[in-house]
Amino acid sequence: MIVSLAENNEDIERLLKKGYALSIDNNHLVVRDIPYLDNNGNLQIGAIVSIVNFINQNKMSMKDHQIFFCGSAPYELNGKQIRNLGGGATSVHLTSKDLVVQRSFSNKPPSGKFKDWFEKIENYVTIISGPAMDKFDANPYTFRVADENSKSVFKFRDTLTSRSEIGELSAKLEEDTIVIIGLGGTGSYLLDFLVKTPVKEIKAFDGDWYHVHNAFRSPGKLNEEELGKRKTEVYKNRYQNFRSNVNIYPNYITCDSEDDLTGVTFAFVCVDSGDSRVEIFDLLVKMKIPFIDVGMGLDKDTGLISGTLRTTYFSAESAQSIIDKRLAPLSDIPDDVYKSNIQISELNALNACLAVIKYKQIRGFYLDENSYFHMLFNVDGVNLVGENG
Domain assignment of residue 388, yes or no: no
Q: What gap in Å lies between CA 236 and CA 180, rounded to an integer?
A: 13
Give the number of other CB atoms < 10 A from CB of residue 220.
13
Alpha-carbon distance 4 to 15, whole Å? Answer: 14
Cα separation, 206 vs 330, in Å, equals 19
* SS3 annotation, 197-248: CCCCEEEEECCCECCHHHHHCCCCCCCHHHCCCEHHHHHHHHHCCCECCEEE
Same domain? For 50 and 124 the reply is yes
Asked if residue 139 and residue 186 are part of one domain, the reply reads no
Q: What is the DSSP string of 95-161?
A: S-TT----EEEB---TTSS-SSHHHHHHHHHHHHHHHHHHHH---S-------------BSS--HHH
Q: In the listed set 117, 152, 187, which residue is the last one of a domain according to the structure?
A: 152
Among candidate residues 120, 152, 184, the one where a domain is terminated: 152
The half-sphere exposure of 208 on its side-chain side, counting CA atoms within 13 A, is 15
Which CATH number covers residue 285?
3.40.50.720
The pLDDT score that the predictor gives to residue 149 is 56
Verify that 213 and 89 share a domain, yes or no: no
Residue 63 lies in a domain: yes
What does the alpha-carbon distance between residue 146 and residue 138 come to, in Å, rounded to a whole number?
19
- Asked if residue 166 is part of any domain, the answer here is no
41 in helix, strand or coil? Answer: coil
In terms of domains, do 114 and 238 share one? Answer: no
Same domain, 145 and 184: no
Which pLDDT belongs to residue 225? 84
The count of structural domains within the chain is 2
What local confidence, expressed as pLDDT, does residue 341 receive?
Answer: 43
Q: What's the pLDDT score for residue 339? A: 47
Which candidate, 83, 95, 89, 86, places its Cα nearest to that of 30? Answer: 95
Q: Are residues 357 and 250 in the same domain?
A: yes
**pLDDT tens digit at each of 389 positions of the chain:** 787 788 889 999 999 999 999 999 988 999 999 999 999 999 999 999 999 998 888 889 999 999 999 999 999 999 999 998 988 999 998 888 899 999 999 999 988 899 999 999 999 999 999 999 999 999 999 988 876 655 678 776 565 665 666 778 888 999 999 999 999 989 999 999 999 999 999 999 999 998 888 888 889 887 888 888 888 899 998 898 888 899 999 999 999 999 999 999 999 999 988 889 999 999 999 999 999 999 988 888 788 988 899 999 999 999 999 999 999 988 876 655 444 445 589 999 999 999 999 999 999 999 999 999 999 999 999 999 999 97
pLDDT of 340 reads 47
Claim to verify: residue 109 and residue 234 sit in the same structural domain: no
302 shares a domain with 231: yes
Residues 6+ apart with CB under 8 A from 128: 34, 36, 46, 48, 69, 74, 82, 85, 105
| Domain, as residue range, for 44 | 1-152
Integer Cα distance of 133 and 372 in angstroms: 58
The answer to the question of residue 161 being in a domain is no
Compute the distance between CA of residue 330 and CA of residue 324 in angstroms, rounded to an integer.
Answer: 10
| One domain for residues 189 and 276 | yes
Task: Indicate whether 146 and 182 sit together in one domain.
Answer: no
Q: In this structure, are 145 and 185 located in the same domain? A: no
Residues 221 and 189 in one domain: yes
pLDDT recorded at residue 163 = 60
- What per-residue confidence (pLDDT) applies to 282? 96
Q: Examine residue 296 and state whether it is found in any structural domain, yes or no.
A: yes
**CA–CA–CA angle 1, 150, 157 (5° rounding):** 70
User: Which pLDDT score, from 0 to 100, does residue 78 have?
Assistant: 96
4 domain-assigned: yes
